[in-house]
Copies of this chain bind each other. A is one copy, B any other.
Amino acid sequence: MKVGIIGAGRIGKVHAKNISMFVPEVEIKTVADPFMNAETESYLKNLGVREVTKEAQDILNDKEIEAVLICSSTDTHSKYIIESARAGKHIFCEKPVDYDLDKVHEAVKAACDAGVKLQIGFCRRFDHNHRGVYDVVKSGRIGDVHMIKISSRDPEPPAIDYVKVSGGIFYDMMIHDFDMARFLAGSEVTEVHAAGSVLVDPEIGKAGDVDTAVVTLKFENGAIAVIDNSRKAVYGYDQRVEVFGSKGCVRNENDVPNTVVVSDEDRTSYENTYKIMWDRYTGAFVSEIQAFADAVLNDTETPVGGEDGLYPVLMAAAATKSLKEGRPVKIAEVE
């Protein structure tokens, strides 16, 4: 199966590397990036990528290419989804599909109409720890889901210039957790309440965003979820989920680089979790691409489809509105 990658930034390169190392059934024929340069070209060629180009169109026009990975900037996602769909190519698109709900709807519809597969890059669904929690929930071992708690904290806030164009913490950061909450609940969200503060960096507040946020979600089945986000956890990338149900509770902890425990005169201690997202979710990036390849090759459904791209954006819209208006907002209000 030959694929093309649109976008050769950080995430595009990670996917290229993972495919070349771990997904032998996929061959990267072409990588397109308007800013393609000699260094990137050399990196990609070493991975076995056959062609590089500045024109995404070269990929879309290539009959040999069966599937496209869209790793370009968010504002181009929906456009490339639509064009890829029209070109009859299966699509893996990084999250979020778009900040504009109309565009999300349009993109999802285009893929659906064209009958191509669409997978959204919510990589955390493929993380061993989060997946482990999901598997326990799915198995019925903890019974019906009553509550979900998600902590998701970054080691460092992004640059202020990025914050200004990021769409805000709910679109940029909590979007992953919205997806995770739906994934674990097995039910749709009906109402969102957001609380937020500027406690990390006043510049974030000046940019119109918050850096500390707690969002409560109510689900159709009565379950309640709570997500907390902070832009700055000094001890590292903090990613934990807990699902409480009628028959028990399942949760995970952060990964640590090793299991070493030291006791000295003062304390017993061990190493903090990872400080870099790429170290934390290494395996998840491989697994999601493997899953996409499997879905295309076996003609099965992708594990994270168009609807899964849409709902987190709805939740982010509702959270943004809730924070602004100081009241809970129903999903129906933003649809």
A: which residues have CB within 8 A of B? 21, 24, 46, 128-129, 131-133, 136, 141-142, 144, 146-147, 149, 151, 153, 193, 195-200, 212-214, 216, 218, 222-224, 226, 228, 230, 232-236, 238, 244, 246-272, 326-328
Contacting pair B249 A265 (CB below 8 A): no
Interface centre among A131, A153, A195, by most B CB within 10 Å? A195
Q: Which residues of the other chain, B, contact A263 by a CB distance below 8 angstroms?
A: 235-236, 248-250, 272
18 cross-chain CB contacts under 8 A? A129-B259, A136-B260, A147-B214, A153-B244, A195-B218, A197-B222, A234-B248, A234-B265, A235-B248, A247-B264, A248-B262, A250-B262, A252-B260, A253-B261, A255-B259, A266-B272, A267-B269, A268-B271
Q: Which residues of the other chain, B, contact A223 by a CB distance below 8 angstroms?
A: 197, 199
Interface centre among A46, A144, A234, A253, by most B CB within 10 Å? A234
Contacting pair A149 B149 (CB below 8 A): yes
A127 to chain B, nearest CB (A): 9
Who on chain B is nearest to A48 by CB? B48
Q: Which residues of the other chain, B, contact A256 by a CB distance below 8 angstroms?
A: 268
| Cβ 8 A contact of A193, one of B151, B195, B213 | B195
A308 to chain B, nearest CB (A): 22
Q: Which residues of the other chain, B, contact A136 by a CB distance below 8 angstroms?
A: 260, 262
Contacting pair A133 B327 (CB below 8 A): no
Who on chain B is nearest to A326 by CB? B328
- A248-B262, A259-B129 known; A214 and B216 CB under 8 Å? yes
A27 to chain B, nearest CB (A): 13
Who on chain B is nearest to A275 by CB? B265
Contacting pair A248 B265 (CB below 8 A): yes
| Cβ 8 A contact of A268, one of B149, B200, B228, B235 | B235
Q: Which residues of the other chain, B, contact A271 by a CB distance below 8 angstroms?
A: 132, 267-268
Q: Which residues of the other chain, B, contact A213 by a CB distance below 8 angstroms?
A: 224
| Cβ 8 A contact of A251, one of B216, B236, B260 | B260
Q: Which residues of the other chain, B, contact A132 by a CB distance below 8 angstroms?
A: 257-260, 271
A105 to chain B, nearest CB (A): 28
A307 to chain B, nearest CB (A): 24
Contacting pair B262 A146 (CB below 8 A): no
Interface centre among A128, A146, A327, by most B CB within 10 Å? A146
- A249-B235, A269-B267 known; A147 and B262 CB under 8 Å? no
